[in-house]
Chains A and B, each alone.
Chain A
Amino acid sequence: MNNHDQERIAHLLKESLPPIGTRVGAELRRDLWPAMLKRLEAPPTAVPWFDWALLAAVAAWLVFFPGAIPVLLYHL
């Protein structure tokens, strides 16, 4: 693969997905501060109880069956 290949692919890409600067929506059209303020004021999301229960179950499983750790790591 050489520079010509890269230029050819770049040309194809620009023809298929024109640079965003040439399209509507390239410029921010509204002030996002009100939305930002809403995000800042939102209460932190609480972790559901079943997530804690699941975590406890996995921790207990690993304590009683440490041989399962490599299996768990393999599947992560």
Chain B
Amino acid sequence: MPVLEQPSDVLRQFCHGDLEAFEALFRRHQSEVYGWIVRIVRDPATAEDLTIETFWRIHRAHARFDPVRTFGPWVRRIATNAALDHLKTARYETDLPDDLASPPSPDPGISDELRRKTARAFHRLPPKLRVAATLALIEEQPYKEIAEALGISSGAVKLRVFRAVRFLRKELKRQGIEP
């Protein structure tokens, strides 16, 4: 079996549908793809399934990939779309666990009730806004990186974050909280 060491060789062979090259790319990028997806969907088991779904889409699209381009951003775009598709088809308002995860050093000024209501409002966000809010406000990813992953401009990401914040404020007010 030939040894696939040079990334460009691997990409060229991947474009021709070589399974060994695909495996090399999978092993090299699976952790990174999982890490990105789990930030969006916030559930390890779902993120594992979506990592496989992402690479399934990558495998199907191998002939369309231009080996001159970098593989990472293309993969991240596909991973983001897979996560977004999942959020669109998942239940609009997921059941919240009884015990929400607490931050390492929780703010004593924020009650459990407020945390619960905020989480509930967050789960009501439309998927596109939820992804933007998750990546920008919770995970604090750079706008440029989010824009590349979503295939939109940085300005469009800022607009989605703005709309998400406005939605959350309205939703919290509806629950009797003045944020």
Contacts and interface: CB of A to CB of B under 8 A. Distances in A.
Interface string A18-42: 1111110111111111011001100
A55 interface: no
Contacts of A31: 27, 30
Contact of B52 (A14, A21, A35): A35
A6 B48 CA distance: 31
Interface residues of B, number: 48
Interface stretch (B36-44, B82-90, B143-151): B36-44
A19 B140 contact: yes
A40 B51 contact: no
B137 A14 contact: yes
A39 B165 CA distance: 39
B138 A32 contact: no
Given A6-B161, A32-B51, A40 B103 contact: no
A10 B137 contact: yes
A28 B52 contact: no
A1 interface: yes
A1 B166 contact: yes
A26 B39 CA distance: 8
Interface in A11-70: 11-23, 25-33, 35-36, 39-40
Interface stretch (B5-13, B66-74, B114-122): B114-122
Contact of A15 (B26, B31, B35, B106): B106
Contacts of A40: 19, 56, 59
26 contacts: A5-B169, A6-B165, A12-B114, A13-B133, A13-B168, A15-B106, A15-B107, A16-B114, A17-B138, A18-B102, A19-B138, A19-B140, A20-B39, A21-B139, A22-B103, A23-B101, A25-B47, A28-B30, A28-B35, A28-B48, A29-B44, A31-B27, A32-B51, A33-B26, A35-B48, A39-B56
Interface of B: 19, 23, 26-27, 30-31, 34-35, 38-39, 42-44, 47-48, 51-52, 55-56, 59, 100-104, 106-107, 110, 114-116, 118-119, 122, 133-134, 137-140, 161-162, 165-166, 168-169, 172, 179
Closest 10 CB pairs of A and B: A25-B44, A16-B118, A10-B137, A18-B103, A28-B34, A16-B115, A16-B119, A28-B31, A12-B118, A9-B165
